[in-house]
Amino acid sequence: MIERSRNLRPLAVVFGAAMLLAAPLRAQEASLAAAPSSPVPAAVEAAPAPAGPTFTAASVAVRRPTAEAKAAPAAPAQRRDTGTALMIVGGAAILTGIVIGNGAGYAISVGGAVIGLYGLYQYLQ
C-alpha cells in the first residue's frame, strides 16, 4: 500500500499544481470577457431611474409591456459554468480514491474520472 502511494505521489503533485494554476487563468479569462468592446456614447445613456417607491412598482397586477420594453432586445441568458465545478469535484474524487486505495478507492477514482470527464464535456459545450 505504501509503495503504491509513493508511486502515485508525483501524479498527485502534478495534478495539484495544475489545479492551482487553473484558478488564476480562469480569473484572467473572466476579466477579459467583462471588458466592453465599444464604449457607449454619453448621448445614448438612459436617464437615471427615479429614486424611491412608485405606484407602478407597488402594483402586483399584470401590466402590458411598454413600447420601450418591446423595443429593447432580450438579454442573453446567463450561462452557468457547472463544467468547471464538476471537473474540480471529479479531480478531488480521483485523489481521494488514490489515497484510500484498494477496491473502494478504485471505485471512487473511477467515479471521479466519470464526473470529471462529464464536467469537461459541459465546459467545452
Q: Residue 67 — very low, low, confident or very high, per pLDDT cuts 50/70/90?
A: confident
Question: Which residues have a Cβ under 8 Å from the Cβ of 107 and sit 6 or more positions away?
Answer: 97
Count the neighbouring beta carbons within 10 Å of the beta carbon of residue 80: 8
Q: Please report the pLDDT score of residue 79 as a whole number.
A: 65
pLDDT tens for each residue of 75-118: 676 667 788 999 999 999 999 999 998 899 999 999 999 999 99
State which amino acid sits at residue 57.
Answer: A
What is the tens place of the pLDDT at every residue in 23-35? 665 555 555 555 5
- Residues with Cβ within 8 Å of residue 83, at least 6 apart in sequence: 119, 120, 121, 122, 123, 124, 125
Comparing CA positions, the residue from 80, 78, 114, 108 lying closest to residue 96 is 108
Q: Output the pLDDT for position 16.
A: 66
What average pLDDT does the chain have? 75
Please state the length of the chain. 125
Q: Which residue has the cell 480562469?
A: 26
Give the pLDDT confidence score for residue 77 in this predicted structure: 67
Higher pLDDT, 43 or 84: 84
pLDDT at 81: 78
Q: What percent of the chain has pLDDT over 90?
A: 29
Whole-number Cα distances in Å, 27 to 78, 88, 93: 18, 16, 24
Rounded to whole angstroms, the Cα distance separating 3 from 25 reads: 35
